[in-house]
Amino acid sequence: MSRLAIVAAMPEELQTVLDAIPDEAPRQHGGRTLWCGHWQGHEVVAVLSGIGKVAAATTTATLLSTFEIDAVLFTGVAGGLGDGVQVGDVVVATELLQHDLDASPLFPRFEIPGRGVSRLATDAALSQAVAQAATQALATRGPALAGLCTPRVHQGLIVSGDRFVSSASESTALRQALPDALAVEMEGAALAQVCHDFGVPFAVVRTISDRADDTAHVDFGRFIDEVARHVALDIVQGTLDQL
Ligand code: ADE
């Protein structure tokens, strides 16, 4: 039996996941509550990452030091950056980068010092399973996403930084610096670095809550309540079905 860790960014999403785990039991470690249980024949450990790169990195390190984990799935929301990445769409990361990491002139902008790379790849097989689950989730939930046009699944680069991107000028600057970035959030690349350190396969999936522009904060709140938690549940469930 494989053991999957589910890391959620928002309490609402974690609660939806916990509601689906009939025997969840809490274990405290490193200031985190790690919820252990079973879901669809798999051992699972669910945990709230909190917001930001430090919270995500410490949560992931605590998780992977406490349990034997076969794979990590991070679920959350993000701001859309890429052309055609709209509110309600889902982005599955193929690679992640810290957009606020800049140790130049010692190292090139975005490069992780000592690693010689700026982008960290996700596990291809797990990410493919997540993308398939997301496609199915949107086919089921899509019609219920009132006011949104037909949502789509995208796969590619997600960028992370310790900023909620909430102005058109900031998202334009990100698009110029990283033209292939599909979405921006605040945790994924930090989790990626820790998973790489531990040699544990991982995937990151994000539902788009806003366009990282001047109305991002308004769209974000509404979206979390109405959509994100349901889509996240379907995606995790659909991924577990394929493992
Ligand atoms: N998560 C969701 N929307 C975001 C945004 N606009 N910036 C950073 N993280 C986000």
Q: Which residues, judged by CB distance below 6 Å to any ligand atom, belong to the binding site of ligand 1?
A: 77-79, 164-166, 184-186, 209-210, 212, 216, 220
Determine the pLDDT at residue 142. Answer: 64
62 in helix, strand or coil?
A: helix
Using CB atoms within 10 Å of the CB of residue 71, give its burial: 0 to 12 exposed, 13 to 18 middle, 19+ buried.
Answer: buried
- Band of residue 90 on the pLDDT scale cut at 50, 70, 90: very high
13 is catalytic: yes
**Whole-number Cα distances in Å, 198 to 76, 179, 181, 183, 195:** 22, 30, 26, 25, 5
Stretch 79-97: mean pLDDT: 94
Greatest pairwise CA separation for the chain in angstroms: 52
Stretch 60-67: mean pLDDT: 96
Higher-confidence residue: 229 or 107? 107
How far does residue 186's CA lie from ligand 1's centre (Å)? 7
100 is catalytic: no
Q: What is the C-alpha separation between 73 and 236, in angstroms, rounded? A: 8
Look up the CATH number of the domain holding residue 188: 3.40.50.1580
Domain limits for position 53: 3-242
Stretch 58-79: mean pLDDT: 96
3 in helix, strand or coil?
A: strand
How far does residue 23's CA lie from ligand 1's centre (Å)? 32
* pLDDT > 90? residue 217: no
β 32-39/42-48 pair status: antiparallel
* Total number of residues shown for the chain: 243
State the total domains in the chain: 1
Residues 6+ apart with CB under 8 A from 105: none
**Cα separation of the two ends of the chain:** 10
Which of 160, 162, 167, 220 to probe ligand 1 with, by most ligand atoms within 8 A of CB? Answer: 220
Pick the catalytic residue: 95, 210, 219, 234? 210
Determine the pLDDT at residue 98. Answer: 98
pTM of the model: 0.94
Q: What is the C-alpha separation between 16 and 241, in angstroms, rounded? A: 17
